[in-house]
A = this chain, B = another copy of it.
Amino acid sequence: MADDGYFIGVDLGGTSILAAAVRQGNVLVEEKKKTRPEQGPDAVVERVEAVIRKVLDEAEDEGPAEAVCIGAPGAVDRTSGVVRRAPNLGWENFPLGEHLEKRLGLPVIVDNDVNVGVVGEHVHGAGRGALHVAAIFVGTGVGGGLVVNGLPVDGFRGAAGEFGHIVVKPQGRLCPCGREGCVEAYSSKTAMEAMVREKIDEGRQSIVLDVMRDKDKDGLTSSVIEKALEEKDEVMGEVVRTAQYYLGLLTADVVNAFDPEVIVFGGGVVERLAESFVNPIALTAREHFLRREGAERIRIVPAALGDHAGTIGAAVVAQRSPHRFAG
Q: Give Cα distance in the complex from A177 to B151, angstroms.
A: 31
Identify the interface centre among A132, A146, A249, A256: most chain B CB within 10 Å of its CB: A256
Within 8 A of B (CB), among A143-179: 144, 146, 148-149, 151, 153-163, 165-170, 177, 179
* A291 close to B (CB within 8 Å): yes
Binary per-residue interface labels of chain A (42-68) against chain B in the complex, 1 for a CB within 8 Å, 0 otherwise: 000000000000000000000000000
Could you tell me if A168 and B165 are in contact, using CB atoms closer than 8 angstroms? no
Smallest CB gap from A258: residue in B: B160
A58 to B53, CA, bound (A): 73
CB pair B257 A257 closer than 8 Å: yes
- The copy count of this chain in the complex is 2
Which of A151, A165, A252, A294 has the most chain B CB atoms inside 10 A of its CB? A165
Asked if B167 and A259 sit within 8 Å, CB to CB, the answer is: no
Question: Distance (Å) between the CB of A95 and the closest chain B CB?
Answer: 18
Which of B155, B256, B287, B298 touches A258 (beta carbons < 8 Å)?
B155
Please tell me the size bucket of the interface on A. Answer: 35 or more
Contact A257–B259 (Cβ < 8 Å): no
Q: Which of B153, B177, B290, B298 contacts A148 (CB 8 A)?
A: B153
Asked if A31 is an interface residue, CB under 8 A from chain B, the answer is: no
- Closest partner residue, chain B, to A133 (CB atom): B156
CA A290 – CA B258 in complex, angstroms? 20
A86 contacts chain B at the CB level, 8 A cutoff: no
19 A-B pairs whose Cβ atoms sit less than 8 Å apart in the complex: A75-B293, A130-B156, A132-B153, A148-B148, A149-B153, A153-B258, A157-B293, A157-B294, A157-B297, A159-B256, A160-B257, A160-B258, A161-B257, A161-B258, A162-B291, A166-B256, A166-B257, A169-B169, A257-B258
List 7 extra interface pairs beyond A149-B149, A254-B257, CB under 8 A: A130-B156, A159-B259, A161-B258, A165-B290, A167-B168, A167-B249, A179-B288
